Amino acid sequence: MHLNEIIKQKPNEVIVAVVRRHPLTYVPSVLLYVVIGLIPIVLYFFIKQFSPDILANNYIGAIIILIFSAFELSVALFFYSSFLVYYLDMIIITNDRFVEVSQRNLFSRSVSEFNLYKIQDVTSEIVGVIPTLFNYGNITVETAGEGENLTFHAIGSPHELRRQIVQLADENRKMNHEELSEVNEAHV
Amino acid sequence: MITIPLFVFLIAYLLYLFIFLLFSLANVYHIVSTGTFTGVAFVVTAITTAGCIAVLVTTYYMLVDINWYSNLILLGPGGFVLFQ
């Protein structure tokens, strides 16, 4: 399966952009997992330094090593799962639609979409020192109808993306209007 | 006398490894099947896999001389005893 199968890509549809949260927002998670992963290693050397008899014992030493090993593997597994949730959370913008893929956890994913011509307003904002330095912020998309506004947080280059979305929405509205006119003429 | 052979803990660890492997394969399957196995995903997957292999190899070498058939006595004739 590829991205085009997730969004059920139409014949004349082209994927223009795939947008994810800025990588900097994932760094705190990475650091947390690194710190947690270091705990057994630090504990091991601590025990070896101050109570070497414990590790020298055939039984306790083996059990401690097995527990530490299982702990480290669990940390690696949880880290990779959290990376998956971060990486599979994305917005896919085509020349026709706006598709939001939300990976809530490993076995839970939702996909929502709307046509670009329904976009009425797009707002981008960068708030804060670090977001300003690293150029990431929020984008709010307002659509026609009764749907709620959609806000996407910590997107890289939000102002540039807003311009791109507005341009694509205009082009899509034009194309949609032309198709409707052709259909009306055919019926007449 | 209540004893637990040490290899019981090894079997429990191996069972955990099996479950770990299943979840790891599910993770990799997810990222490959969604077509998002890009350069970044490859690097993170490679680093995580290398880390896991390092943990397993280190665990193996630290436990290679262990006598797994030793018995852990929990309750002996003289009361609670930890080791034989």
- Find which of B20, B34, B64, B84 to mutate to test the A interface (most A CBs within 10 Å of its CB): B34
**Residues of B with Cβ-Cβ distance to A59 under 8 angstroms:** 6, 70, 72, 82-83
Mean pLDDT, chain A, whole residue set? 88
Residue A35 or A146, more confident: A35
Q: What share of chain A is helix, strand, coil (3-state, %, to 5)?
A: 55, 25, 15
- What average pLDDT does the segment A58-79 reach? 93
* Per-residue model confidence (pLDDT) at position A146: 62
Residue B7 or B82, more confident: B7
Compute the distance between CA of residue B54 and CA of residue B52 in angstroms, rounded to an integer. 5
- What average pLDDT does the segment B58-79 reach? 80
Residue A143 or B22, more confident: B22
Compute the distance between CA of residue A161 and CA of residue A93 in angstroms, rounded to an integer. 10
**CA angle B24-B28-B30, nearest 5°?**
115
Measured between CA atoms, the residue of chain B closest to residue A108 is: B30
Would you state the structure tokens that stand for residue B9, as one six-digit string?
């803990």
Compute the distance between CA of residue A54 and CA of residue A48 in angstroms, rounded to an integer. 8
Measured between CA atoms, the residue of chain A closest to residue B27 is: A81
Please tell me what DSSP assigns to residue A131.
H
* Residue-range domain boundaries for chain A: 15-188
Topology adopted by domain A15-188: PH-domain like (2.30.29)
> What does the pLDDT look like over A20-35, one tens digit per residue?
999 999 999 999 999 9
- Chain B 22-61, residues with CB within 8 Å of chain A CB atoms: 23-24, 26-27, 30-31, 33-36, 40-41, 44-45, 48, 51-52, 55-56, 58-59
Compute the distance between CA of residue B7 and CA of residue A63 in angstroms, rounded to an integer. 10
**Got the DSSP string for A42-76?**
HHHHHHHHH-HHHHHSHHHHHHHHHHHHHHHHHHH
Confidence of residue A10 (pLDDT cuts 50, 70, 90): confident
Measured between CA atoms, the residue of chain B closest to residue A101 is: B34
For B1-82, strand residue ranges (E) read: 2-5, 71-76, 79-80
Measured between CA atoms, the residue of chain A closest to residue B63 is: A62
* Per-residue model confidence (pLDDT) at position B84: 46
- What average pLDDT does the segment A136-152 reach? 83
Nearest to A153 by CA among A171, A177, A179, A126: A126
| Statement: residue A106 has pLDDT above 50 | yes
**Residues of B with Cβ-Cβ distance to A61 under 8 angstroms:** 66
The count of other CB atoms within 10 Å of the CB of residue A33 is 17
Compute the distance between CA of residue A17 and CA of residue B41 in angstroms, rounded to an integer. 18
> What does the pLDDT look like over B39-52, one tens digit per residue?
888 999 999 999 99
Mean pLDDT, chain B, whole residue set? 85
Compute the distance between CA of residue A163 and CA of residue A186 in angstroms, rounded to an integer. 35
Q: Is the pTM of this model over 0.80?
A: yes
| Statement: residue A43 has pLDDT above 80 | yes
Chain centre distance of CA B18: 8
Confidence of residue A133 (pLDDT cuts 50, 70, 90): very high
- Find which of B15, B17, B30, B56 to mutate to test the A interface (most A CBs within 10 Å of its CB): B30
**Residues of B with Cβ-Cβ distance to A65 under 8 angstroms:** 59, 62-63
